[in-house]
Amino acid sequence: MTTLYEDPYFAFRFADDRIIPRFRLEGIEAGRQVSVFKIDPTTGERLTLLAKATVGEGGWVDLPQPIIVRAGDAFIAVPNQAQ
């Protein structure tokens, strides 16, 4: 099956305050680099680079420093191009 549209990133939005030390990216192979950006939750515009990390086994990304998010905040994880 061919997908008509697929975002090149993973979006995370939060209704409550949270501390995020790790997250999971479905379908991304271990060893791939990802960049994590804070985004404007309304427009989706990239605001700040929060972290760079490597995808581990099972798609888990352990961040070098936990991300603190407030209710209503959002961030995206953008996998770098495979080499």
DSSP calls for 12-72: EE-SS-EEEEEEE-TTPPTT-EEEEEEE-TTT--EEEEEEEEEB-GGGEEEEEEEEEE-TT
Q: Where are the domains of the chain?
A: 15-79
Q: Find, among 9, 16, 15, the residue nearest to 45 by Cα.
A: 9
The pLDDT of residue 81 is: 80
Q: pTM of the full predicted structure?
A: 0.85
Per-residue model confidence as pLDDT tens digits over 14-73: 999 999 999 999 999 999 999 999 999 999 999 999 999 999 999 999 999 999 999 999
- In this predicted structure, the answer to whether residue 5 has a pLDDT above a threshold of 60 is no
Residue 71 near residue 15 (C-beta atoms within 8 A): yes
The pLDDT of residue 8 is: 79
Cα–Cα distance measured from residue 56 to residue 79, given in angstroms and rounded to the nearest whole number: 13
